[in-house]
Amino acid sequence: MKYKVILLFFCMIYGNFAFAQSGIVESRNPYRPSAIQSTNMVFRDNNASAFYAQDMLEDAIVELQKKINTNPGQYSFYVPLIDLYIKTKQYDSAFEELVFLYNLSRQNKLSFEVKDDLSKLADKLKRNTKYDKTKSSLYVEIAIISLILEDKESAEKYVLAASGGGVSSNNLKKVLVMVFDTEKNSQSAIQICDNIIARNPDDVEIRKLKALYLTQNQNTDAAISEYNTILIINPQDKESRYNLYKLLKEKNYSEKDFIKKLYPDNSIDFEKIYSELADILMKNSDISGAKYYAQLLTEKYPQNETGYMILAEIYQKEGNLKASYAALEKLRDTADSSEAIAKYNVMMAKMSDEPVREANSLIATGLYQQAIDALSNANQENLYVILTQVRANYLLGNKQEAMELLNKSMSLYPDNSDVYCAFGWLYLQEKEIDTARKYTDGSLKLNPNNKNAKDLLDLVNKAESDTYMKKIVYSYESQNYPEAMKLIDEAISINKKDAVLYFYKALTYIAQNNYAASTAPLYKSIELDKQYAPSYFYLGLAFDNLSEQKNALGYYQQYVNLLKTDDYSETERKEYAQERIKQLNNH
């Protein structure tokens, strides 16, 4: 009853719905347009129903497609749409919609009502086919519906029936995998593959499926034969060559017989075979096999590039950077193709990445000698290996070694921004500020976006402005305020990012009772360093003296909140601020 009430609600929304004399129209039969009011399957759309009644099937399809686009989660619309696709012989479209519903069923997203509609559609299709080979497309559709309804036996039966006709090979392959999946001992699946192969002997993909099912059935010899056939059709099929390799390995042939069976259609060109096998095995993550053939290749054919490339990659994966670098040196010496040279360059760069990261981590924890050791097997001509060695050696106290490495980097990479930046860093450590600035400027000229150089420039600016601080403090404490202000402005012109310089500028104004002028540099100081507590205190003091007690109270409070409990240097200011907070709160 509840179900009919819902249907009546749909009828009221879409209007003009055709009623049967005995009740509500519930379904339609696509093979008998006059029997739209039959109870075989629910037809849930008024417009589509009207078009259907007038045999305007394409219009009915369009209406249902609109409904699906508007209500994609209303899966009940799909079954009548599939029904119409089949009626109009649009079997591929019906197939795609059924695959969609099949995937939904695997996620338990199909309602009982939709499955019931599919069951009725399947019954109708079964009556219509009667195992007629000319209607094999319908068998495929029935097979998918059977899968959705969890009737595996019927699904196997109908896909087998479909394989004997002229159904789309593509669709048949898809449903074959859906029906048999990874099921073992699937003799029916092998028969289906044979039926397809009988019509299209060069269908490599279906032969691969057959070989898979033969392997699952432990019919190794037949699977080997199938892969051999595939490789005759397409000798470049590396997937099949690898699968054949695995099957033959189980047979424990001698090396010579193994190669003959793996490449039965070729004259025995061992260089080519070892090269191809090493490459195939590497791509299938069979590292031990790839290593074996790559080593054979380099031993017997030392001018072959492939063996060195693969060995370098394997050694790198194993963490044996020394062996990897040796293999790359061999590659460099033998490479005569642009591909091999490009591969060499990429691998040389990659080989340096990991040890550089490791060395930088060690430097960050103060383990400078360990960092140098970590780089010993890396590519010694890689720029970032050299620059990391520079840092580690300098911090360890090996200044001469660091400078020699820097000169080496400059000779190898004379126009590199990072090289100039490294020189700037070293000279800054030595407090040779003018020289540090020269190299830093040179780095930014080569690459204005070099972040390390930008950060270094800030450090150089701070180092230079810091040279003014002793003079500034001396002038301030000597009450030579004009001289102090002159020095502060000179320092700020060099380094506009130092909060302490603006703080001293404000102190100089306050010392001259110019509280109004002190607020701007104090704001700037806080902008540059929000945690610098003294700036908040003096903003409070400035507003206090400007009779702006509300602002004064706020800044005194922020000052006290920022103070650390063990900061005894602020004791006097802290006591003053706390007293003023108490007084201002009482007013």
Domain boundary among 234, 266, 298: 266
Residues 375 and 455 both lie in one domain: yes
Domain final position from 242, 266, 290? 266
- Cα 352 to chain center, whole Å? 23
Decide if 385 is inside a domain.
Answer: yes
Q: Kindly indicate the confidence band of residue 264, based on its pLDDT and cuts at 50, 70 and 90.
A: confident
Pick the range with the lowest mean pLDDT from 184-188, 402-406, 530-534. 184-188
Residues 510 and 454 in one domain: no
The SS3 call for residue 266 is coil
Comparing 5-14, 19-28, 343-352, which segment has the lowest mean pLDDT? Answer: 19-28
pLDDT for 157 equals: 84
Give the pLDDT confidence of 417-473 residue by residue, as tens digits. 999 999 999 999 999 999 999 999 999 999 998 888 999 999 999 898 888 988 999
Measured between alpha carbons, how far is 120 from 145 in angstroms, rounded to an integer?
10
Q: Is the pLDDT of residue 32 over 50?
A: no
Q: How far is residue 404 CA from its own chain's centroid?
A: 41
Establish if 13 belongs to a structural domain: no
**Per-residue b/e over 413-430, b at no fewer than 16 CB within 10 Å?**
beebbbbbbbbbbbbbee
> What type of residue sits at position 115?
K
Any domain includes 156: no
* pLDDT for the residue 326: 81
Q: Of 214, 184, 95, 206, give the one whose Cα is nearest residue 144.
A: 95
Question: According to the model, what pLDDT value does residue 200 have?
Answer: 84
Q: Are residues 450 and 514 in the same domain?
A: no
Does 234 reside within a domain? yes
Same-domain check for residues 451 and 502: no
pLDDT of the residue at 12: 37
Is 528 within the bounds of a domain? Answer: yes
Q: Are residues 435 and 510 in the same domain?
A: no
Evaluate whether residue 338 is within a structural domain.
no
**pLDDT at site 183:** 60
Coil/strand/helix, residue 477 = helix
CA distance 28 to 55: 12
- Give yes or no for residue 415 having a pLDDT over 70: yes
- Give the residue-averaged pLDDT of 300-323: 85
Q: Are residues 376 and 455 in the same domain?
A: yes
Residue 516: is its pLDDT beyond 90?
yes
Judged by average pLDDT, the poorest of 185-189, 232-236, 257-261, 303-307 is 185-189
Q: Does any domain span residue 402? A: yes
- The pLDDT tens digits for 37-67 are 333 344 455 555 545 544 578 888 888 888 8
Q: Residue 36 — very low, low, confident or very high, per pLDDT cuts 50/70/90?
A: very low
Predicted structure pTM score:
0.51
Residues 83-93: what's their mean pLDDT? 87
| Tokens of residue 74, six digits | 């209303």
Provide the number of structural domains found in the chain: 3
Cβ within 8 Å of residue 37, ≥6 positions away? 18, 20, 25, 26
pLDDT at residue 144 greater than cutoff 60: yes
Q: pLDDT above 70 covers what percent of the chain?
A: 86
By the 8 A CB rule, do 535 and 526 touch?
yes
- The residues facing 42 across adjacent strands are 27
Looking at the structure, do residues 505 and 432 belong to the same domain, yes or no? no
CA 39/CA 31 separation, integer angstroms: 14
CATH code at position 401: 1.25.40.10
pLDDT-derived band of residue 14, with 50, 70 and 90 as boundaries? very low
Residue 439's φ and ψ, nearest 5 degrees, are: -70, -35
- Please state the rounded mean pLDDT for residues 224-230: 92
Pair (443, 521) in one structural domain: no
Scanning 319-367, the segments in alpha helix (DSSP H) are: 321-334, 338-364
Query: Residue 160 has which token pair?
Result: 């087998």
What mean pLDDT comes out for the span 327-354? 75
| Distance between CA atoms of residues 364 and 351, nearest Å | 21
Residue after which a domain boundary falls, among 401, 434, 459: 459
- Which pLDDT value is given to residue 130? 60
d(CA 173, CA 163): 9
Residue 402 belongs to domain spanning:
371-459
Residue 285: CB atoms within 10 Å: 8
| Residue 49 contacts residue 28 (beta carbons within 8 Å) | yes
Share the mean pLDDT of the chain. 83
What are the distances in angstroms from CA 479 to CA 164, 482, 485, 542? 107, 9, 11, 19
For the cut 80, the answer to whether the pLDDT of residue 304 exceeds it is yes
Closest C-alpha among 96, 173, 163 to residue 131: 163
Q: What percent of the chain has pLDDT over 90?
A: 39
The answer to whether position 520 is within a domain reads yes
pLDDT level of residue 241 (50, 70, 90 thresholds): very high
Count of Cβ atoms closer than 10 Å to residue 127 Cβ: 9
- pLDDT value at residue 487: 93
**pLDDT (mean) for 323-342:** 77
Same domain, 502 and 447: no
